[in-house]
Structure 1
Amino acid sequence: MTGMASPEKASTSKKKSDRKCATKEEYRQLSSIMGVMNNLRKQSTLCDVTLVVQGKHFHAHRVVLAAASHFFSLMFTTRMMESMSHEVELRSAEPEIIELLIEFIYTARISVNSSNVLSLLDAANQYQIEPVKKMCVEFLKGQVDATNCLGISSLADCMDCPELKAAAEDFVQLHFTEVYKLDEFLQLDVTQLTRILHQDKLTVRAEAQIYDAAVRWLKYDVCNRQQYMVEVLGCVRFPLVSKTFLSKTVQAEPLIQDNPECLKMVIGGMRYHLLSLEDREDLGESSRPRRKKHDYRIALFGGSQPQSCRYFNPKDSSWTDIRCPFEKRRDATAVFWDNVVYILGGSQLFPIKRMDCYNVLKDSWYSKLGPPTPRDSLAACASQGKIYTSGGSEVGNSALDLFECYDTRTESWQVKTSMLMARFSHGSVEANGLIYVCGGTVGNNVSGRVLNNCEVYDPNTQQWTGFSGIL
């Protein structure tokens, strides 16, 4: 039944609406005022302070700088010498970065990229311009990988960025088996190393990998690091190491044979395997497990079923629905990379241009720009931080030979060399750095022909080669 709002309710509703309009109007007015202020700054009109950076001069208004930065507020509103000086020198700053920050203060616009993010973060932290600092943190969170996660973690400590620190540490924990094999891991000091190795949430296939990481760090500079052997190997939970590995590999390690304390730890681990289950439980701390490397789950995204997002857990053969805020799509494809499921293509009457992303760790959804050519029945696979989409068909049209690449670090798309053959409803997989595209259909949904061939793309040469005879 349709009803009519009472005068009181209508009046309340109108007031709320008026308030929203007023807020928008206030925002437009403020933007207009700041635009005028920025023009005055560019013309050096009514400016009452000049920031000097490495000989370059930047004119500005004290009140604007003070409103945007607690650093400048203290400088200009207290008895500091700078509060009376027309020129203020900013030491240890870069002219290009200060120019970007001043522009942001007046316009709320700034471009953060891989070339300037570290300098911007340093300056935004020093001059206490929190919005820019937050943007830099968000950018760096998207850049974390195995080669830089430890460095970003240290940077976050120095810059007082707990959110960035948490993101870097989460990556270290999830990808420890990759991280400890890289050079950055070998440069850690003993405090940083032991802090990482002690963590319960390190994702490993077996405790032997913790041992391998510890020994690798020790041997990198054995002369200077031998003094830390007991402290470092004390992070290894030897009761969790297999009896065979302990006897054949660990006990035979010269570093351990020459150290009675370390040898005692290994023998303790071997004795653990001889204990009863009840006695093992009493040990508690030393036998506490790490997070296992693989917890396989099979997920379904899209399709024509009422519940379009769910996952299957092989451990208990159960299905779990995943909350999805976006509309359903059919004939889409999904690919998994770095704990994010990317859902691409598909249609709902019309091709969907958006790429929906699901972070499995945070249980959160967000959207990014989809493939340059919206289509359905495409295939996708991931390799080295890039997502490759192939083929597909626009609604009601024939197969396409399109091949595109999305870089998850720069969040940008590139059109690559077209496939040798147009195809849709096919498969795609990465193996040993190569992209394999197999099977599918050529033509269209009405008069299509099933394919029994395969073609391979080499990202290094950006060339395709083909072979046939799929059974």
Structure 2
Amino acid sequence: VFGRPSTGPASTLLCLFMGKRRRAQHSTSEEEGFPGETVKVRREEGRDLLHSMWEEKRWMDCCLRVCESGKPPVDIQAHRCVLVAASRPFRSMLAGSHRERDADVLELNEVSAAPLEEMLLFIYGREIEISVNNALNLYRVSDMYEVLELASLCCDFLQKSTSVSNCCSVLTAAETVHCRQLSAHCMHLIRRHFEEVSGTVGFVELKEQMVKEIISDCDLRVRSEEVALDALLVWLDFDANRRECAPRLASAIRWQFLPSVRLARLEIERADLLRNGVAEHLHEAYRHQALQATCKDASLLASFPSFRVAPRRSRSDFSQLQCKMTV
């Protein structure tokens, strides 16, 4: 990986760690005077060597001190050369120009001891267990220290563990650890199964900005706009303090596609929302429906916000599209 390795245990260890196990490969040499076959070889027990180094706790020359708030510091011993080979951030701290370069103790304040030790076990070639209990924290630590193989494994595990019933809760957690791939996967599930998702506990626990992003989505698949409105009302009613969010979130609803009877009932039954700035959207819906029914002048209809007068992709439309593609 690093070209022709120099002699010495550290450089040998770097090559053993970074290299993948491969069988001996054969190639034909065309060098003058030495025609014939050459053999490329690699030690197969490199991973076992890392195993023994971790188990025997010998030659460990770096102490990772995890300082969590409200807990006593936890010291984890490791080999400096292994950390440098496995992680670019560790390489920058331990082999770069940072002040930690010559320090025997490296203080880490933004991680927990358990996932950090699991990550180190993975680095040393040990088998670790990824579960619903540790996957998010393990992803966060491995992503922070750019142990990308482990981060990818955690993300894949979480995606496979995500369902319609928990996708909102997973989305909240994914946003916390900045896992974009997992967030995108959750958003895809929410768009496709919004009616079921909106009835879960995780939905009412979403933050305002995330709710607005979901309900504003043109690809939100709902049977009718009433499904989106009902979900918004459930979210608002979950916490009385959310009523002030109503004007900001109301702009995500396609009010023009709500039946006039539902608009009238809303105006009568939910006067609390009208006092919070939703009345403007109702009046806009009334005007749009009246113009659409009686006016032939398209320029008047064009004066309405374009995204709110565009219908969403409904489930029936999607089913018809699938049928047409099959035919």
Identify the TM-score tier after normalising by the shorter chain.
Answer: 0.7 to 0.9
SS at match of 2:161: coil
In structure 2, relative to structure 1, the CA distance for the partners of 1:277 and 1:200 (3 Å cut) is farther
Q: How many residues align?
A: 284
- Counterpart of 2:230 in structure 1 is 212
Match of 2:46 among 33, 52, 55: 33
Distance, in Å, in 2 between the alignment partners of 1:205 and 1:212 is 12
Is 1:293 equivalent to 2:315 in the alignment? yes
Is 1:234 equivalent to 2:256 in the alignment? no
Identity %: 21
Q: 2:172·2:206 contact (CA, 8 Å) conserved in 1?
A: no
- Counterpart of 1:98 in structure 2 is 116
Q: CA deviation at 1:266?
A: 4.0
In structure 2, relative to structure 1, the CA distance for the partners of 1:45 and 1:252 (3 Å cut) is closer
Q: Which runs of 5+ in 2 are unaligned?
A: 1-25, 30-35, 67-71
Distance, in Å, in 1 between the alignment partners of 2:102 and 2:172 is 38
Q: 1:250·1:266 contact (CA, 8 Å) conserved in 2?
A: no
In structure 2, relative to structure 1, the CA distance for the partners of 1:85 and 1:230 (3 Å cut) is closer
In structure 2, relative to structure 1, the CA distance for the partners of 1:113 and 1:32 (3 Å cut) is same
Q: 1:243·1:273 contact (CA, 8 Å) conserved in 2?
A: no
Aligned amino acid, residue 144 of structure 2: Q
In structure 2, relative to structure 1, the CA distance for the partners of 1:48 and 1:183 (3 Å cut) is same
In structure 2, relative to structure 1, the CA distance for the partners of 1:129 and 1:169 (3 Å cut) is same
Once the two structures are superposed, what CA deviation does each residue of 1:241-260 show, in whole Å capped at 9, x if it has no partner?
22333334555432355454
Q: CA deviation at 1:275?
A: 4.1
Distance, in Å, in 2 between the alignment partners of 1:250 and 1:141 is 42
Structure with the bigger RCO (C-alpha within 8 Å, sep 6+) is 2
TM-score using structure 2 length: 0.74
Instruction: Write 1 or 2 for the structure with the bigger share of helix.
Output: 2
Distance, in Å, in 2 between the alignment partners of 1:274 and 1:287 is 14
Root-mean-square deviation (Å)? 3.2
Q: 2:136·2:173 contact (CA, 8 Å) conserved in 1?
A: no
Match of 2:160 among 138, 142, 148: 142
Match of 2:139 among 121, 129, 133: 121
Instruction: Write 1 or 2 for the structure with the bigger share of strand.
Output: 1
Q: CA deviation at 1:239?
A: 1.5
Q: CA deviation at 1:281?
A: 6.9
- Counterpart of 1:254 in structure 2 is 271
Match of 1:267 among 279, 286, 295: 286
Match of 2:210 among 186, 192, 195: 192
TM-score using structure 1 length: 0.53
- Counterpart of 1:203 in structure 2 is 221
Is 1:44 equivalent to 2:61 in the alignment? no
Once the two structures are superposed, what CA deviation does each residue of 1:207-252 show, in whole Å capped at 9, x if it has no partner?
0111112222222234x33333222222111121223333345554
Q: Which runs of 5+ in 1 are unaligned?
A: 1-12, 298-311, 321-471
Q: CA deviation at 1:36?
A: 1.4
Moved more, 257-266 or 125-134: 257-266
Distance, in Å, in 1 between the alignment partners of 2:110 and 2:322 is 54
Q: 2:93·2:100 contact (CA, 8 Å) conserved in 1?
A: yes
